[in-house]
Structure 1
Amino acid sequence: MENMIGIMGGRLSNPITRETQSFSEHSWEMEFKKSKQIGFEVLEWVFDLHENNPILDSNNVKKIRHIAKEHNILVNSLCADYFMHNRLFGVSSFELENNLKLLKKLVLQCNKIEIKIIELPFVDSSSLKTEKNKNEL
């Protein structure tokens, strides 16, 4: 296996929120070009609170694949920051059902791009602080 150097999506664009990392809704396409110019080979996709993330739409998934191939950038992982605020534990059954439904959709969409790694960041408000939290998960 060859070691490759990559960058998290959103790091090469102007920040649109106060968050350290967020999806660059208006400049995500340019991030592939910039990544290649800098010498990166891999881009980690960010899925946060933005509703306009193209990974949720099958037509846009094709576009992501095309742009990645055009710039020879591998999208091999997705950081699902969305679940930091929309937890998979400690929420109502309705919320949990909706969050799991979205997670399942993300898994299917990631498969279309051949994303092999989905990171669920259990930090901040979604940290697993108690045994109960861990058991609910």
Structure 2
Amino acid sequence: MSSGSISDELRAKIRAQAGDHCGYCLSLQKYVLGILEIEHIIPTAKGGTNEEENLWLACRLCNSYKGVQTEAVDPLTGRTVKLFNPRQQKWSQHFQWSEDGSQIIGCTACGRATVVALQLNNIIAVTVRQQWVIAGWHPPQDR
């Protein structure tokens, strides 16, 4: 995450646009440890900028697993596809929650590739989501 030239005003605007949710796993800021990060959809290492259209909100786990990736292999078709873009694409068109609400299921090539590349169902995330479901906090209904 490059933070030097992203203004506090732009950070606040992106946070508001994202509704204080991670753009990938939909974790809500009030339920995660640590501050959700400003994420570069196209990483600066791959020519991405600090312009608003290239920035979104992500939790530390999703942002760290994403790293410099911009595409990944769809495990169903074997095709390389672009990762989900939370600024330009609607989450519910590419993903759904498992019946118990603890896992994210990719419904499109983009969704499936993103689930694998960002390890959206890693053991930590699934375990935490199970507890959020028990508490009645999860899954989010508005995305």
Bigger relative CO (Cα 8 Å, ≥ 6 apart): 1
Do these two structures clear the TM 0.5 threshold for a shared fold by scoring above it?
Answer: no
TM-score grouping bracket, smaller chain normalisation: under 0.3
- Asked which structure has the greater CA Rg, the reply is 1
Q: Which has the higher helix share?
A: 1
User: TM-score, structure 2 length as denominator?
Assistant: 0.26
